[in-house]
Structure 1
Amino acid sequence: MPTYRAPLRDHRFVLNDVLNIQQYSDLPGFSEASPDIVDAILEESGKFAENVLHPLNRIGDTQGCHLKDGEVTVPEGFKEAYDQMTENGWTGLSFDPEYGGQGLPHVLNLASSEMVTSTNMAFGMYPGLTAGAAQALYHGGSNEQKALYLPKMISGEWSGTMNLTEPHCGTDLGLLRTKAVPQGDGSYKITGQKIWISAGEHPMSQNIIHLVLARVEGAPDGVKGISLFVVPKFIPDENGAPGVRNALQCGGLEEKMGIHGNATCVMNYDGATGWLVGEENKGLKIMFIMMNEARLGVGLQGYALAETAYQYSLAFAKDRIQGRALTGPKEPNQAADPIIVHPDVRRMLMDQKVFVEAARAFTFWIGVQADLEHVASDEAVRDKASDYMALLTPIVKAYLTGKGYDSVSAGLQVHGGSGFTEEWGLSQLLRDARITLIYEGTNGVQALDLVGRKLAMRGMRPYTTFMAELDGYIAEHASDEAMKPFIDGLAGVKEKLKSATDWMVEKGLENFDNAGAGSHDYLHLFGLTCFAYMWARMAKASLIKLAEGSQDPHYSAKIKTATYFVERWLPEADAHLNKIRAGATSMMALEVEAF
C-alpha cells in the first residue's frame, strides 16, 4: 500500500525562508501566527492527514456514495473523520473570530488544506465547499444571516454548497431558469433543478446550507437578472436549530470518473423556502466571491495530488529494480539496478519535483496576497494584493491543474504497468485529478478570462504592477553571480511574456479570434513566468542559508532543482510565444463540415 508523508520541511521552507511570514507579525491574524503556532498547525495537520484521511482514500474510491429514498450515505469512516476534523477546529482556522473562527492567516489554511487534499481529495471537498459558502455569506449576507449561519458553518456543525449549473447551462449562467417567487414576508419560493452539486446531500453535518442562483420573476434576461439565495436543507427554528425539512431533495447521484467519495448531486428545488443574499439581480457578484475562493482551492488540488503522486512514484523508483544503469551497475550485489538510475525516469521525477515545489511556493505566495488584501494597514499594499488576486487567480486555477494532471500522469508512467492497476494508487489519483481541469470554470474559460478581462482591467494596472515587481527583483539581484542563471532565466521569460502581451493587445483587438487562439499558450507562458519568479526566490533563500553555513541538504537540493527548471522548463517559453504569434488563421480555417 503506498504511503504519504506530510511535506512539512518544504512547508516551513516556503513559509519561513522564502515568504518570511513573520515580517507581517504586526498585522491582524499574523500576530497570532508565532513560529511555534505555525509549527504546531503544520505538525497536527500532517498527523491528521497521514493517520486519519489517507487510510480512507482508497475506501472512499471503492465504496463511493449511495442514494436511497432521498438520503445519501458516504464511505465508511468519512463521518467519523469529519467529526474529528470539526472537533479539533480545523474548519475554522482562518475565519473571523467574531463568528467562531481562529482568525489565523489564510496562507496557513492553505498549508493545512494541501495536506487534506493530498491524502483524500473527495473528503476535503466537504469542508472546502462549506468554507467557500461561508465566505460568500460573510461578504454578501446581512448581519442577521451572518449571525445565524456563519458560527455553525465555521464550526462544521452545518455544511454548505454552491448551486450554479443547470442541465441546459454551465459556463453561460445567463441561461439559467431556476425561479424565485417573493412571498411578501421576506422569503422566496425557489423552484428549479441544479446539477453537479458537490456535497449536495450527505449525513455528516446537521444541516446543509445551499447557496442557489435563481431568477426573480420579472428580472432582466441574462446575467444581469441573477439573484443569490440561501436555501437551508432544514429551516432554522426560532432558536437557530434545524427545524422543518425544506422542499428540496437530492434527485440523483452522478456516476463519475473519480472523486467517488464525494456526493455529486442533482438537486431538485420544489418551492423551497429561501432568503435573498444581498440585492436582487446582484447575486452573481456575490457568488463570484465563492467561485474565486473555489478556484484557488482547485489550483491547490492540482498540485496537492501531484505531491502524492510524486511521493508514490519516488518510492517506487527507489525500490523497483529493472535493467542496469547506462554508465555501469550501481547496485552490483542485486540482479538489477533500481529504476531511479535511468535518465528518463529521472526526467519524470524531476519534472514532478519542479512542479510541486514551485506550485506550492506560488500558491502560498498568493495566499499571503489574499491575507494582505484584507489586513494590510497600507492602502497601496491592499490595492496591489487585490490586483494580484484578480490577475493571477485564472493562472492558479488553470496552470496548476493542467500541469498537475501531467505530473500525476508522469507518476503513473514511472510505475509502468503497475501504475495501470488499482493497488498502487496512481489510477485513483489520475481519475481524481482530471476533474480539476473542468470544474469551477474549465481551463479554457480561465485562459479567456485572463486575456479578455483580467489583462485589461484597471487600465492594465495589475499586469504592469506585477511586471514591475519582476523588474525590481531582477535589478536587485543582477550583480549576484550565484543567482545569475536564475535571474537570467526570469528576465528571459519575462521578456517573452511582455512580447506576447504586446502581440495580444495589438492583434487581439484586430481579431478577437487571435486572442482566443492564443489564450491557452498565453496562460501557460504567464504561469511559467510565475514559476521562474518562485524558483529565483527559492534559490536565493537557499543560497543565503548555505552561505550562513547550513549543512541542511534541503537547500542544496533546491539549487539543483532550480537549475533543472531553468534548463529544462524555461525553453517551453519559446514554443508558447511562437504559437501565440501564429494567430487564429490556421486554427479557424477548416470549415465545420470538414471536421
Structure 2
Amino acid sequence: MPVYNAPTRDTRFVINEVLQLASYGHLAGFENATQEMTDTIVEEAGRFVSEVVAPLNLSGDKEGCTRHPDGSVTTPAGFKEAYRQYVDGGWGTLSAPEAFGGQGLPHVLGFTMESYLASANQAFAMYPGLANGAISAIREKGSPEQQAMYLPKMVSGEWLGTMNLTEPHCGTDLGMIRTRAVPAADGSYAITGTKIFISAGDHDLTENIIHLVLAKTPGAPESSKGISLFIVPKFIVGADGSLGERNAVSVGSIEEKMGIHGNATCVMNYDGAKGWMVGEENKGLAAMFIMMNAARLGVGMQGLAQADVAYQNGLAYALDRRQGRALTGPAEPQERADPIIVHPDVRRMLMDAKTFIEGMRALCLWGALQVDLTHKAATEAERQEADDLISLLTPVIKGYGTDMGYKVATNMQQIWGGHGYIAENGMDQFVRDARIAMIYEGANGVQAMDLAGRKLALNGGRAVQRFFALVDGECAQPSDDETVTLVAGRLSKAVGEMKAATMWFMQNAPANPNNLGVGAYAYMTLTGIVSLGLMWLRMAKVASAAIAAEAGDTPFYEAKLACARHWATRYTTEAGALRREVEAGSETIMALTPEQLAIA
C-alpha cells in the first residue's frame, strides 16, 4: 500500500524561515498569519490529507467514476465522505476572500493545502481545485449580483465549479470554438455546443455545479476576439438562492483516461442551456486567462505533488529492498545483501528528486507570496514588481515543474524495478497521474512559447530584467559559508547563460520567428534551473545561519546544504547546454517537408 506523509517540517521551514511570512503582518490579509497560526494550519492540513484523503488514492484509481443511465455521475467510494470532512474543516476557505465567507489568509497557506491534497490524491484534489479558477473569474469579472448569488456557496464548498474551454476540434486555439450563445428576452443566453475534457464536469460531491463556459454570440468575430464567458449552473439558482429546475446541460460520457481515474473528466453537452454572461461581450479571453493562470500555478504544484509522494515511496523501498552489496564493501555484512540505497545510481535518483522537490516547494510557495503581494504590497512599485515576477514565472512553474515532476515519478518507479511495474504497489499511478500535468491547462510547449514569445518582450522586457536583477543581487551578497559561495557562483554562471540565450532571441527571432519557437522549450527549462537555484541560494543562506547560531535540528539544516551543493554541481551543468540548444536555431528542426518526415 503506498504511503504519504505531508512534508510539514519542510513546509514550515520555507514559510517561516525562508519567506518569513510573519514579517508581512503589517499588510492586509497577513495580520492573522502569525507563526503559531501558520504552524497549526500546516500540521493540521498535513494530518487531514494523510489520514483521510491519501488512503482513497489507490482505491479511487481502481474504481474510477461511474456515469449512470440518467446522465448522473458518482465518484469513487469514500470521496463524498472525505469531501464533506474537507468542507466541514473549512480547508477550501483558507485564502478565499472574507467578503464571501473565506478566511482571507495568504495564498501561501491555501497553496500548501492544495499541494498536500494533490500529493495525497490528485484526482480528489481536482474537484475543489477547479472551483478556485471559477471563483477567481467571477470575483474579477462578475457583476455584484453574480458574485452575491454564486460566490458564498462556491467559497464554502457547498457548490463546486468547472472551466469549459476545450471542444473536440480545438484546444489551445480557442478562437475556433463553435459553442453558441443566443440572447433571450430575460437577459440570459441559450448555450448550445459540446465541450470535452471537462474535469469534474459532474459528480455527487455537491448539490450544484457552476460551469463557466466559453461561447460566441451571434455576429461575434470568428477569432479569439469573439469569445464571451458565461455562467451556466447545473441547477438554476433562484433569486433567494434556492435551487430550481435542472438546466439543459448533461454528461455525454466520461473520458477513458491514462490516469486521474477518480476525477470525472466529462464530455459536456449544452442543449440550449440557460446561461448568463460574465463581464463584457467578446471579452471572455481576459476572464479565461484569470482562470488559466490560477489553474497553471495549481498544475505546477501537481508536478511537485506527484514527485513528492513518488519520492516518499521510492525512498521507503530503497531502505527496505535488499539486492547486492555496496561498491565499497558490505554495508550490513550480517545480512545476505545490502539495502539498495547503498548503490550510487539509486542515490543519484533520490538526490535528484529531493533537490527538485524541496527547491520546487520553495519556488511554488514564493510564487504564492507574489500572488498576494501583487494586490497587497505596501506600494505600487512593490505590487508591480510582484506581478511582473509571478507573470514571468507562471509558465515556468507549470512547464518545468510538471516536466520534472514526471521525471521524478518515473525515476522513483525505476528504483522499485520490476515491482514498480506492478499496479498494486501504486508506483505506476504516480507516473500516470503526473503525465497529465504536462498536457492540460496549456501543454508545456505552449508554456514555453508563453514565456519566450510573450513574457520576455512584455513591457519592454521589464519582468525578465527584474528577475535578472533579483538573481544578480542575491548572488553578489558575500558569505563566509563555502556552500553559499558555491551556489552563488554557479547560479551567477547559470543566469549568465540565461541572459545570453535571451539576447540571442532578441537578435535572431525577429528575422526568423521559428528560431524562437524551436528554442523556447530549452529556454523554459533553463529558466526553471535558474529559478530553483535562486531558491536554493536562499535556503542555503538560512541553513548556514541556523547551524552557526546553533538553532537545533542540525541534521535538517545540514541536509539543506547538501542538496544546495547537489543543485550547484549537478543541475547547473545543463545550463550551458540549454543555451547552446537555443543558439542552434531552427534550421535542422524545420529542414524536412511533411512528406519527408513521413518517409519510413
TM-score range relative to shorter protein: over 0.9
Distance 2:537 2:354 in 1: 16
Matched-pair contact (CA < 8 Å) for 1:164–1:212 = yes
Matched-pair contact (CA < 8 Å) for 1:127–1:159 = yes
* Match status 1:73 vs 2:74: yes
Letter of the structure 2 residue corresponding to residue 32 of structure 1: N
CA deviations on 1:234-276 (whole Å, 9 max, x unpaired) are 0012311211111110111000000000000000000000000
Distance 2:393 2:111 in 1: 16
Deviation at 1:551, TM superposition (A): 3.7
CA deviations on 1:213-248 (whole Å, 9 max, x unpaired) are 000001112000000000000001231121111111
* Match status 1:58 vs 2:58: yes
CA deviations on 1:68-98 (whole Å, 9 max, x unpaired) are 1201011000000111100110111101111
- Select the residue among 572, 585, 588 that pairs with 1:586: 588
Matched-pair contact (CA < 8 Å) for 1:302–1:402 = yes
Distance 1:333 1:540 in 2: 41
Letter of the structure 2 residue corresponding to residue 241 of structure 1: S
> Which residue in the other structure is 1:423 paired with?
424
Matches within 5 A, 1:220-235: 220-235=221-236
SS in 2 for 1:550: coil
Letter of the structure 2 residue corresponding to residue 467 of structure 1: F
Distance 2:203 2:545 in 1: 50
* Match status 1:31 vs 2:31: yes
Matched-pair contact (CA < 8 Å) for 1:190–1:272 = yes
Deviates more, 1:124-133 or 1:238-247: 238-247
Deviation at 1:2, TM superposition (A): 2.4
> Which residue in the other structure is 1:153 paired with?
154
Q: 1:254 to 1:482 in 2, by over 3 A?
A: closer
> Which residue in the other structure is 2:14 paired with?
14
SS in 2 for 1:12: helix
Could you list the runs of 4 or more consecutive aligned residues of structure 1 that deviate by over 4 angstroms after TM superposition? 478-482
> Which residue in the other structure is 1:547 paired with?
548
5+ residue gaps, structure 2: none
> Which residue in the other structure is 2:276 paired with?
275
Distance 2:483 2:8 in 1: 27
SS in 1 for 2:588: helix
Matches within 5 A, 1:519-558: 519-552=520-553, 553-558=555-560
Letter of the structure 2 residue corresponding to residue 93 of structure 1: L
Letter of the structure 1 residue corresponding to residue 61 of structure 2: D
Q: TM-score, normalised by structure 1?
A: 0.99
Deviation at 1:184, TM superposition (A): 2.4
Letter of the structure 1 residue corresponding to residue 566 of structure 2: Y
* Match status 1:219 vs 2:228: no
- Select the residue among 572, 593, 600 that pairs with 1:570: 572
Q: TM-score, normalised by structure 2?
A: 0.98
CA deviations on 1:134-169 (whole Å, 9 max, x unpaired) are 111001100000000000000011100000000110
Q: CA RMSD in A?
A: 0.9
Matches within 5 A, 1:157-168: 157-168=158-169
CA deviations on 1:305-360 (whole Å, 9 max, x unpaired) are 10000000001000000000000000011110000000000000001101100100
Matches within 5 A, 1:379-390: 379-390=380-391
SS in 2 for 1:587: coil
Matches within 5 A, 1:97-246: 97-246=98-247
Letter of the structure 1 residue corresponding to residue 66 of structure 2: H
The size of the alignment, in residue pairs, is 595
Letter of the structure 2 residue corresponding to residue 365 of structure 1: W
Distance 1:388 1:142 in 2: 29
SS in 2 for 1:503: helix
Letter of the structure 2 residue corresponding to residue 409 of structure 1: T
> Which residue in the other structure is 1:489 paired with?
490
Distance 2:483 2:171 in 1: 50
Matches within 5 A, 1:322-401: 322-401=323-402
Deviation at 1:424, TM superposition (A): 1.6
- Determine what percentage of the aligned residue pairs are the same residue: 54
SS in 2 for 1:397: helix
CA deviations on 1:173-231 (whole Å, 9 max, x unpaired) are 00001000111221110000000000011111010000000000011120000000000
Matched-pair contact (CA < 8 Å) for 2:483–2:561 = no
Deviation at 1:550, TM superposition (A): 2.9
Matched-pair contact (CA < 8 Å) for 2:481–2:544 = no
CA deviations on 1:359-400 (whole Å, 9 max, x unpaired) are 000000100000100111211110001111211110010000
Deviation at 1:510, TM superposition (A): 1.7
SS in 2 for 1:14: helix
> Which residue in the other structure is 2:507 paired with?
506
Deviation at 1:51, TM superposition (A): 0.6
* Match status 1:295 vs 2:278: no
Letter of the structure 2 residue corresponding to residue 33 of structure 1: A
Letter of the structure 1 residue corresponding to residue 32 of structure 2: E
Matched-pair contact (CA < 8 Å) for 2:483–2:565 = no
CA deviations on 1:525-565 (whole Å, 9 max, x unpaired) are 01111011111111001001001013411100000111111
Distance 1:346 1:418 in 2: 18
Letter of the structure 2 residue corresponding to residue 464 of structure 1: Q
Distance 2:432 2:142 in 1: 36
Distance 2:534 2:390 in 1: 16
> Which residue in the other structure is 2:97 paired with?
96
Distance 2:481 2:542 in 1: 13
Matched-pair contact (CA < 8 Å) for 1:477–1:487 = no
CA deviations on 1:451-488 (whole Å, 9 max, x unpaired) are 11011001100010111111111222367655210110
CA deviations on 1:101-135 (whole Å, 9 max, x unpaired) are 00000011111111111000000000001111011
Letter of the structure 1 residue corresponding to residue 45 of structure 2: S
Distance 1:343 1:357 in 2: 21
Distance 2:290 2:113 in 1: 21
Letter of the structure 2 residue corresponding to residue 485 of structure 1: L
